[in-house]
Structure 1
Amino acid sequence: MELDELRIFQAVLQEDGVTRAAARLHRVQSNVTTRLRQLEDKLGVPLFLREGKKLIPTEAGRRLGDYAERLLSLAEEARQAVASAEPAGSLRLGAMESTAASRLAPVLAGYHRRYPTVQLELQAGVSNDLRRAVLEGRLDAALISGPAGDERLDEALVFEETIVLVAAAGQRELSLRLLGETTLLTFGHGCAYRQRLEAWMQRQGVQPRRLVELGSYHAMLSCVASGMGLALLPQSLLDSMPLMAAQVSTHPLPADLGQAQTTLIRRRGLRQPALDALQRLLLGEEN
């Protein structure tokens, strides 16, 4: 069944005949009659008993009338939801764990207060995986490290991060020799900060003795504090965890490695009011 056929059927049912239904729909009577017959042929049952020019709904016609009303109402609701400029529906956002932990709480709290009807879902992950999820439609947008580097994506710079090496408390300086003898604590291969650290060490001609992958920054900082190894973290994350930060020492990186951009990526040309509103908050365009 097509929605247009249901609209014609509903008009005939409500107007008690083809003539007034055709006037209401701004159609010629022959078109209304033809479309009504086609609907009956599709369903395989008569919807009206015909007595001259009078149409009397059959039992099947009355039952279909209830469904037609609900289906047409739902279709109109869907049309308004899609066409509306007001944020609504669901929004699937991805973010690096460091960004989720240190940057997003006040933004998302403000967003929820302003747009309570939006169902926001947050998924943490590494940059490469988040970028892939946006491209494949599993996420509406994501906050990743660095530029997207893909013409299929729009991107907006939302945060500037200072990246530091983190070691156990009391560690005064980090020599190349020490870097080669230590254990590095990182996320998986898709982590942009891990790639940054590995590139820097390779440039220095240094290979770490051991590399251990961990699943959370809390675990990573705890291991660093206990003297297990070194990690590369954004300063904003440490600032958001002052008690944990007091148990470690921080060490600057060279200027070209010590600054990182966090960008919001989304499919190019995709209009989504809920995402547009979030982007405005992230960019500080709304208070």
Structure 2
Amino acid sequence: MDLSDLTIFRAVVREGGITRAAEHLNRVQSNVTTRIRQLEEDLQVPLFIREGKRLHLAPAGKILLGYADRLLALAEEAQSAIRDPHPRGVFRLGSMESTAAVRLPALLSEYGARYPKVQLELRTGTPTELSTSLLNGELDAALVAEPVAEARFESLPAFVEKTIIVTGADFPDINLDDGVPKTMLVFENGCPHRRLLEAWYASRGDMPERIVELTSYHAMLGCVIAGMGAALLPESVLCTFPEAKRLVRHPLPEGMNRLKTFLIWRKDATSPNVEALADIIAKDPQNSLAEAS
């Protein structure tokens, strides 16, 4: 049983017989008759009660007609959705946690206002995790830090984050050779800010004695205030932290003090939903690279 079988079956019911159905469908009568008999054989039940040349719906035919109407309507809806150039349906977006906390509220609010037929779903993770999810078809687009695998993804520059190291107020000046923090507060492997912090240690010819992995920036910053160690993160995150005044900000050297974020999607899987988000990012100066230049 396929959609064409259901189309023929419904036409026979609506037109009141094989002859009119064949005319309506622009088919020969024998073809319509054969397809109806094949459908009955596939379902192993009679769909019509035959009285001479007249056909009446059998009980099984009445049941099938309801399903046929729903299935054919759903098929028409699917075709319309595929051909519709306007954003609609579920949009599965991935993001790094820092981007989700600081950049996405205003961005997604605008997106939702412009495209109310889109149902947004958000997943956070590291750039590696998000890229893998994109390739597996689990996400439609993601906001990740550089570098981007250009061979696999289309990309659009979205933000430039100023990166800093933060410590508690009583921590020694880490610009001095003897002030390197011995404890790093980090996210799991794959976090771009962890990678930058490790590069900063390496540039000073040092390495941490202890690494503490945490799962949120606010937890990390709370531990920083408590004197547990240092953390590297986008400076924009501090605006969401109520105790930011108790933190000391330490600038990073050129080459380590900026981190670009890109909107990426699979090269073979663009969609109106992704294109709409890319358009907002590209045209809104508050969501563009110009903000941090």
Residue of structure 2 in register with 1:24 after alignment: 24
CA shift, 1:84, in A, is 1.8
Question: Distance in 2 between the 1:177 and 1:127 partners?
Answer: 33
Q: What is the total number of aligned residue pairs between the two structures?
A: 285
* Equivalent residues of 1:280, 1:286 under 8 A apart: no
1:45-75 alpha-carbon deviations (Å, 9 max, x no partner): 2222334432232222222222211221122
Question: Distance in 1 between the 2:139 and 2:178 partners?
Answer: 42
Question: Distance in 1 between the 2:232 and 2:284 partners?
Answer: 31
Q: Amino acid of the residue matched to residue 122 of structure 2?
A: L
Q: 1:149 to 1:123 in 2, by over 3 A?
A: same
CA shift, 1:240, in A, is 4.0
Residue of structure 1 in register with 2:72 after alignment: 72
Question: Distance in 1 between the 2:189 and 2:251 partners?
Answer: 23
* Equivalent residues of 2:182, 2:207 under 8 A apart: no
> Aligned runs of 1:1-287 on 2, under 5 Å?
1-169=1-169, 172-179=173-180, 181-241=181-241, 243-284=242-283
Q: Amino acid of the residue matched to residue 161 of structure 1?
A: E
Question: Distance in 2 between the 1:66 and 1:215 partners?
Answer: 51
* Equivalent residues of 1:144, 1:265 under 8 A apart: yes
Q: Amino acid of the residue matched to residue 255 of structure 2?
A: D
Question: Distance in 2 between the 1:286 and 1:19 partners?
Answer: 64
User: Which stretch of the first structure deviates more once superposed, 89-98 or 52-61?
Assistant: 52-61
Unaligned regions of 5+ residues in structure 1, if any? none
User: Which stretch of the first structure deviates more once superposed, 47-56 or 186-195?
Assistant: 47-56
Unaligned regions of 5+ residues in structure 2, if any? 287-293
CA shift, 1:150, in A, is 4.8
* Equivalent residues of 2:225, 2:247 under 8 A apart: yes
Q: Amino acid of the residue matched to residue 117 of structure 1?
A: K
Q: Amino acid of the residue matched to residue 175 of structure 1?
A: L
User: Which stretch of the first structure deviates more once superposed, 165-174 or 7-16?
Assistant: 165-174
Q: Amino acid of the residue matched to residue 178 of structure 1?
A: G
* Equivalent residues of 2:163, 2:257 under 8 A apart: yes
Question: Distance in 2 between the 1:268 and 1:255 partners?
Answer: 33
1:78-113 alpha-carbon deviations (Å, 9 max, x no partner): 222232222221111111111111111111111222
For the aligned residue pairs, the C-alpha RMSD in angstroms reads 2.0
Question: Distance in 1 between the 2:14 and 2:227 partners?
Answer: 79
Question: Distance in 1 between the 2:216 and 2:100 partners?
Answer: 12
1:2-26 alpha-carbon deviations (Å, 9 max, x no partner): 0100000100111111121111112
* Equivalent residues of 2:173, 2:179 under 8 A apart: no
CA shift, 1:286, in A, is 10
Question: Distance in 1 between the 2:237 and 2:211 partners?
Answer: 21
CA shift, 1:143, in A, is 0.9
Question: Distance in 2 between the 1:210 and 1:62 partners?
Answer: 72
* Equivalent residues of 1:176, 1:206 under 8 A apart: no
Q: Report % sequence identity.
A: 47
* Equivalent residues of 1:127, 1:144 under 8 A apart: yes
TM-score, normalised to structure 1's length? Answer: 0.92
